[in-house]
Copies of this chain bind each other. A is one copy, B any other.
Amino acid sequence: MLEDMKSYRSYAAGDAILWRGEPLVFVASVVSGVASLSKTLEDGRTQMVGLLLPSDFIGRPGRTQIDFDVTATTDVTLCCFARRPFEQLVEDTPHVAQRLMELALDELDAARDWMLLLGRKTAREKIATFLDMLARRSQLNTAKGDSSAIGAALHLPMTRDQIANYLGLTLETVSRQFSALKADGIIDVSDRRSVTVKDLARLQDETGDDSDGGILS
Chain B residue with the shortest CB-CB distance to A62: B102
Q: A21-B216, A217-B22 are in contact. Are A108 and B118 (CB under 8 A)?
A: no
Contacts of A47 in B (CB 8 A): 115-116, 119-120
Stretch of A37-45, A133-141, A178-186 contacting B (4+ beta carbons < 8 Å): A37-45
- Asked if B115 contacts A67 (CB within 8 A), the reply is no
In the bound complex, do residue A100 and residue B97 qualify as a contact, i.e. CB atoms below 8 Å apart?
no
Residue pair B21, A116 in contact (C-beta under 8 Å): no
A151 at the interface (CB under 8 A from B): no
Contact present for B120 and A46 (CB under 8 Å): yes
Range class of the A interface residue count: 35 or more
A49 at the interface (CB under 8 A from B): yes
How far is B217's CA from A22's CA once the two chains are assembled, in angstroms? 7
Docked Cα-Cα span, A129 to B62, in Å, equals 28
In the bound complex, what is the Cα–Cα distance between A67 and B168 (angstroms)? 23
Give Cα A107 to B101, complex, Å: 13
- B-chain residues with CB within 8 Å of residue A108 when the two chains form the complex: 104, 107-108, 111
Contacting residues of chain A (66-125) with chain B, CB-CB under 8 angstroms: 67-68, 91, 94, 97-98, 100-102, 104-105, 107-109, 111-116, 118-121
Q: Are A115 and B118 in contact (CB-based, < 8 A)?
A: yes
A65 at interface by CB-CB < 8 Å: yes
18 A-B pairs (CB sep. < 8 Å): A37-B112, A39-B112, A39-B113, A40-B210, A41-B208, A41-B209, A42-B209, A42-B211, A46-B120, A50-B112, A62-B105, A97-B101, A104-B105, A108-B108, A111-B112, A115-B115, A115-B118, A119-B168
